[in-house]
């Protein structure tokens, strides 16, 4: 029998295809790229072409409470469109058997008694997922109506309770309770936390079934389809309290701490339990115990998601989720490698998350700064050799970008605590040729933007932020990159959000966006959305309006700075996992700082004011002047222990800069100190507690030996 399974890459779909019973059937599992279920014509054409004997409809747009309540229109329309197209399309194509997957959200809210199949549409739905529930109800009804009107067609619906298990989502707002708690308690173990607060009083009851069990039920339903009721719950028939789930997960991950209850937080519905009488009559029961199901899910999390301790304690780490890897494969399959829709989506999402209208992706952070400076030069009519104020401690790319754009970098010493440009020293460097300030948010620490914006305003200067190291960092609640005319980000490896190589310009200024887009693509005339998104189905109407095709008309001396779709999908995956990436980095840095307090006599640890967040691209340390050892001695010890270190962005003493600008270092005392005494180690999201402890122990051991000298 040939079966079309929709949503094969989702959690249910994965469990269905992973089941050994799937081998008894010829399974069609088109990816989203191969079959867009929201496109009716594509669905009908696919069914006509493949002619399956049966359809299992497991695809859906799913999400947790936050996503569902923020975007009910999306959950309603996408699920409705997909359902209508596949159910209606299958009917048109003469597919006689259809197994539709519903959800227990379809039931009225707040029922103490178990939910029986005839209770659908007898009461008010849970408002937080109403859009999703309405779509699921409509699809289930559509199936019943088809069977009622034409008995040769048997279109049936299973209504599973909540599920958990392999292929669950463990991060972001798509994570449901069990995977979210698995991650939370696993991290608590890693971080040595001994108390965890549970939302509400812990007595709310939930019914969660292991996804492998649901897959087993689906396959039995396929085998004995004729006997399957038209509508059937698939549940445990028993539920557990939230406290019981926490206890089971704590046991599986080895969390031995205590739980408290945060009664100020919402606990959700008191109870939601499906009635399993029909299911039992059909002759199926779930097999997996809660303890075993949780254990297997924890194994899956550890294998696929939790960072694997690498031998070397490096500076950076690229986490790409399984979903991201699948998307990379889809790009390979699509044969569209150059810049297109994925890059465009990445740009839009990146800009949105950084509170800017436009994001322009290109091949490096240096290119981003270069292009942004050239765009500003054009828009603001800067003369060649105009001056840009740059911190005296930064990666060489910041000031190189000025040189590439035909501008002159003028260095300003940095603050000894934050290592960022010192606002108190900016004004003395401004002269008639100065056009802009480039604050660099070094290591992820925002610069003192109030003071910098004030100086820029008073002197009529532009601001271009170098945010290469500071994705998502905030200064007084505002994201870095949103203070000036434009900003440059890097997504090179070891940066917080990485695409391998890459960078982005962000701006709110349409003109700067258009010039930047043009510059990165050889100076192209057309920078409209249609050309940029490169959707093969849409031809830009401007192209045929002029004698010369506007897409291949060049109006300024540009560069070839583009990236491709691989970077686009990897970038999107990184953004989806940003909470995990940022949260872990912040926690790792806090752990290092807490455990190195006693080293502060000789080592300066990172510090940031309460009104700013730090995105900790790495963990900077500067050896204090009173230390009885040198930076070199300490970093050599760390390196010998397989802990990678790097010097802290020496700039003015670089051979090239000495040649270009002379011996500047002596005029910049803080930079000089940092150049000779600063270094950094990693605190990235792939490091676990054991590795952080190794860094801490190594530093402690070194200090002990050296203080005894
Ligand atoms: C502060 C700063 N600016 C600019 C860049 C340049 O980025 P890319 O290496 O992507 O060209 C970097 C890279 O590390 C950086 O740290």
CA 326 to ligand 1 centroid distance, Å: 29
Calculate mean pLDDT across residues 47-52: 97
374 lines ligand 1 (CB under 6 A): no
pLDDT bucket at 616, cuts 50 / 70 / 90: very high
Rg over alpha carbons for the chain, rounded to the nearest Å, is 29
**444: CA distance to ligand 1 center in Å?**
12
Give the torsion sign (CA, 602, 608, 609, 610). Answer: negative
164 in ligand 1 pocket by Cβ < 6 Å? no
DSSP 8-state secondary structure symbol assigned to residue 386? -
Phi/psi class of residue 421: alpha, beta or left (left: φ > 0; alpha: ψ in -120 to 50)? Answer: beta
Which of 361, 366, 369, when mutated, tests ligand 1's pocket best, judged by the most ligand atoms within 8 Å of its CB? 366
Q: What pLDDT is recorded for position 64?
A: 72
Q: Return d(Cα 516, Cα 523) in angstroms, integer.
A: 9
Centroid of ligand 1 to alpha carbon of 247 (angstroms)? 45
**pLDDT at residue 539 in the model:** 76
CB 564 within 8 A of CB 318: no
Q: Where residue 670 falls among pLDDT bands split at 50, 70, 90?
A: very high
Q: Is 430 a residue whose pLDDT tops 90?
A: yes
Least confident of 151-155, 255-259, 316-320, 408-412: 316-320
pLDDT tens column, 166-200: 999 886 556 688 999 998 898 788 667 789 999 88
Mean pLDDT of the region 333-361: 94
- Whole-number Cα distances in Å, 680 to 67, 247, 539, 675: 38, 39, 49, 12
Query: Is ligand 1 within 6 A of the CB of residue 581?
Result: no
In the structure, what pLDDT confidence band is assigned to residue 708 with cuts at 50, 70 and 90? very low
pLDDT in tens, 53-69: 999 999 999 877 777 77
pLDDT at 704: 86
Q: Find the angle CA(451)-CA(452)-CA(456) to the nearest 5 degrees.
A: 120
Q: 365: Cβ below 6 Å to ligand 1?
A: yes
Helix, strand, coil percent content, the chain, rounded in steps of 5: 45, 15, 40
CATH topology of domain 336-575: 3.40.640
Atom of ligand 1 nearest to the CA of 502: 10
Distance 661 CA to ligand 1 centre (A): 21
State whether the beta carbon of 211 lies less than 6 angstroms from ligand 1: no
Q: Give the mean pLDDT of 352-373.
A: 97
Quick one: pLDDT band at residue 527, thresholds 50, 70, 90? confident
Topology annotation, domain 2-167+207-238+273-288: Rossmann fold (3.40.50)
Which ligand 1 atom sits closest to the C-alpha of 367? 11
C-alpha of residue 345 to centroid of ligand 1, in Å: 23
Q: Are strands 208-210 and 162-164 parallel, antiparallel or unpaired?
A: parallel
Q: pLDDT higher for 176 or 430? A: 430
- Any atom of ligand 1 within 6 Å of the Cβ of 503: yes
Q: How would you classify the pairing of strands 54-57 and 2-6? A: parallel
pLDDT digits (tens, 9 = 90+) for 512-524: 999 999 999 999 9
CA distances from 422 to 65, 396, 409, 456, 478 (A): 44, 18, 16, 14, 20
Going by C-alpha positions, the residue among 240, 232, 234 that lies closest to residue 289 is 240
Q: How far is the CA of 253 from the centre of ligand 1 (A)?
A: 39
- pLDDT value of residue 635: 97
Binding site membership of 440 for ligand 1 (Cβ less than 6 Å): yes
Alpha-helical segments (H) within 643-688? 655-661, 669-677
Cβ of 492 less than 6 Å from ligand 1: yes
Minimum-distance ligand 1 atom for the alpha carbon of 440: 1
User: Cβ(489) to ligand 1 under 6 A?
Assistant: no
Sheet holding 154-160, edge to edge: 26-28, 2-6, 54-57, 97-101, 154-160, 231-234
| Type and span of the H or E element at 138 | helix 130-149
Note the pTM of the prediction, 2 decimals.
0.66
In the predicted model, is pLDDT for residue 150 greater than 50? yes
Mean pLDDT score of the chain, rounded to an integer? Answer: 93
Strand, helix or coil for residue 709:
coil
Which of 140-154, 175-189, 689-703 ranks highest by mean pLDDT? Answer: 140-154
Compare 229 and 308 and report the one with higher pLDDT: 229
Measured in Å, residue 502 CA sits from the centre of ligand 1 at 10
CA gap 468, 491 in Å, rounded = 7
Tens digit of each residue's pLDDT (9 = 90 or more) over 471-503:
999 999 999 999 999 999 999 998 999 999 999
| Rounded to 5°, angle at Cα 171 from 127 and 75 | 35
Reported as a single tens digit per residue, the pLDDT across 29-45 is 999 889 999 999 999 99
398 lines ligand 1 (CB under 6 A): yes
Q: Which residue out of 396, 401, 468, 563 has the highest number of ligand 1 atoms within 8 Å of its CB and is therefore the one to mutate? A: 468
In terms of C-beta distances under 8 Å and separation of at least 24 residues, what long-range contacts does 23-29 make, across chains too? 25/1, 25/222, 26/1, 26/2, 27/3, 28/2, 28/3, 28/4, 28/52, 29/5
| 435 strand-pairing partners | none
Ligand 1 pocket residue status of 364, Cβ below 6 Å: yes
Cα(483) to ligand 1 centroid in Å equals 19
Q: Is 497 in the pocket of ligand 1 (CB under 6 A)?
A: no
CATH architecture of 578-707: Alpha-Beta Complex (3.90)
| Best probe residue, ligand 1, of 397, 481, 616 (max atoms within 8 Å of C-beta) | 397
Out of 362, 372, 395, 616, mutate this one to test ligand 1's pocket (max ligand atoms within 8 Å of CB): namely 395
pLDDT for position 547: 81
469 lines ligand 1 (CB under 6 A): yes
Rounded average pLDDT over 400-425: 98
- What sign does the CA torsion over 368, 371, 377, 379 have? negative
> Do residues 668 and 392 lie in contact, with contact meaning Cβ atoms separated by under 8 Å?
yes
Q: Which residue ranges make up each domain of the chain?
A: 2-167+207-238+273-288, 336-575, 578-707
| Mean pLDDT, rounded, for 567-571 | 97
Confidence of residue 464 (pLDDT cuts 50, 70, 90): very high
String of DSSP letters for 159-190? EE-EEESTT---SGGG--HHHHHHHHHHHHHH
CA of 488 relative to ligand 1 center, distance in Å? 9
Share of the chain above pLDDT 70, in %: 97
Q: Is the pLDDT of residue 709 over 50?
A: no
What pLDDT is recorded for position 515?
A: 97
pLDDT tens-digit readout, 261-319: 998 876 667 788 999 999 999 999 999 999 999 999 999 988 776 655 456 899 998 88
Q: Which residues are catalytic?
A: 132
Q: Cα–Cα distance between 298 and 304 in angstroms, integer? A: 10
Mutate to test the pocket of ligand 1, among 361, 368, 414, 492 (most ligand atoms within 8 A of CB): 492
């Amino acid at each position: 029998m040939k079966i079309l399974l929709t949503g094969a890459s989702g959690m249910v779909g994965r469990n269905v295809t992973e089941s050994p019973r799937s081998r008894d059937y010829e399974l069609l599992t088109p990816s989203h790229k191969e079959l867009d279920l929201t496109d009716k014509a594509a669905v009908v054409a696919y069914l006509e072409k493949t002619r399956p004997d049966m359809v299992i409809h497991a695809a859906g747009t799913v999400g947790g409470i936050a996503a569902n309540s923020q975007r009910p229109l999306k959950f309603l329309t996408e699920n409705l469109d997909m359902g209508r197209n596949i159910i209606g399309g299958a009917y048109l194509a003469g597919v006689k058997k259809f197994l539709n997957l519903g959800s227990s959200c379809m039931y009225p809210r707040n029922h103490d008694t178990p939910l029986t199949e005839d209770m659908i549409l007898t009461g008010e739905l849970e408002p937080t997922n109403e859009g999703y529930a309405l779509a699921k109800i409509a699809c289930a009804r559509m199936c019943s109506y088809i069977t009622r009107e034409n008995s040769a067609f048997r279109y049936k619906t299973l209504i599973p309770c909540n599920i958990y298990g392999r292929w669950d989502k463990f991060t972001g707002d798509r994570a449901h309770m069990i995977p979210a708690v698995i991650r939370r308690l696993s991290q608590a173990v890693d971080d040595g936390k001994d108390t965890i607060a549970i939302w509400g009083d812990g007595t709310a009851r939930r019914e969660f079934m292991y996804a492998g069990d649901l897959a087993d039920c689906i396959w039995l339903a396929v085998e004995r389809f004729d006997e399957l009721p038209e509508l059937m719950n698939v549940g445990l028939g028993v539920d557990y309290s939230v406290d019981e789930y926490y206890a089971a997960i704590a046991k599986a991950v080895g969390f031995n701490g205590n739980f408290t209850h945060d009664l100020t937080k919402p606990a959700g519905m008191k109870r939601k339990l499906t009635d399993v009488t029909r299911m039992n009559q059909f002759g199926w029961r779930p097999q997996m115990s809660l303890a075993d199901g949780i254990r297997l899910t924890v194994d899956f999390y550890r294998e696929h998601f939790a960072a694997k301790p690498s031998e070397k304690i490096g500076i950076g780490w690229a986490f790409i989720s399984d979903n991201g890897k699948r998307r990379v494969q889809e790009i390979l399959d699509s044969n569209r490698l150059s810049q297109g829709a994925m890059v465009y989506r990445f740009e839009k999402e990146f800009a949105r998350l950084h509170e800017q209208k436009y994001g322009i992706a290109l091949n490096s952070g240096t290119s981003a700064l270069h292009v942004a400076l050239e765009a500003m030069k054009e828009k603001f009519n800067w003369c060649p050799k105009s001056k840009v104020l740059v911190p005296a401690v930064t990666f060489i790319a910041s000031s190189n970008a000025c040189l590439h754009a035909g501008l002159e970098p003028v260095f300003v010493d940095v603050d000894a605590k934050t290592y960022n440009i010192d606002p108190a020293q900016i004004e003395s460097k401004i002269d008639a040729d100065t056009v802009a300030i480039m604050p660099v948010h070094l290591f992820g620490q925002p610069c003192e933007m109030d003071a910098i914006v004030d100086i820029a305003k008073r002197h009529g200067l532009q601001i271009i932020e170098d945010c290469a190291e500071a994705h998502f960092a905030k200064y007084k609640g505002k994201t870095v990159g949103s203070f000036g005319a434009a900003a440059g980000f890097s997504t090179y490896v070891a940066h917080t959000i990485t695409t391998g190589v890459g960078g982005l310009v962000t701006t709110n200024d349409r003109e700067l966006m258009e010039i930047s887009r043009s510059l990165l693509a050889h100076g192209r005339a057309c920078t409209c959305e249609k050309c940029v998104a490169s959707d093969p189905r849409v031809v830009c109407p401007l192209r045929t309006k002029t004698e010369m095709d506007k897409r291949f008309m060049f109006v300024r001396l540009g560069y070839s700075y583009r990236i491709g779709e691989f970077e686009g999908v990897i970038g999107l995956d990184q953004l989806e996992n940003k909470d995990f990436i940022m949260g872990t980095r912040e926690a790792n840095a806090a752990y290092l700082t807490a455990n190195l307090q006693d080293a502060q006599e000789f080592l300066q640890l990172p510090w940031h004011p309460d009104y700013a967040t730090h995105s900790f691209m790495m963990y900077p340390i500067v050896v204090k002047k009173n230390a009885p050892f040198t930076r070199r001695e300490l970093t050599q010890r760390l390196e010998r222990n397989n802990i990678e270190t790097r010097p802290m962005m020496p700039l003015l003493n670089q051979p090239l800069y000495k040649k270009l600008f002379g011996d500047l270092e002596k005029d910049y005392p803080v930079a000089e100190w940092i150049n000779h005494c600063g270094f950094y180690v990693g605190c990235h999201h792939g490091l676990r507690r054991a590795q952080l402890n190794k860094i801490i122990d190594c530093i402690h051991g070194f200090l002990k030996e050296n203080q005894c000298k």
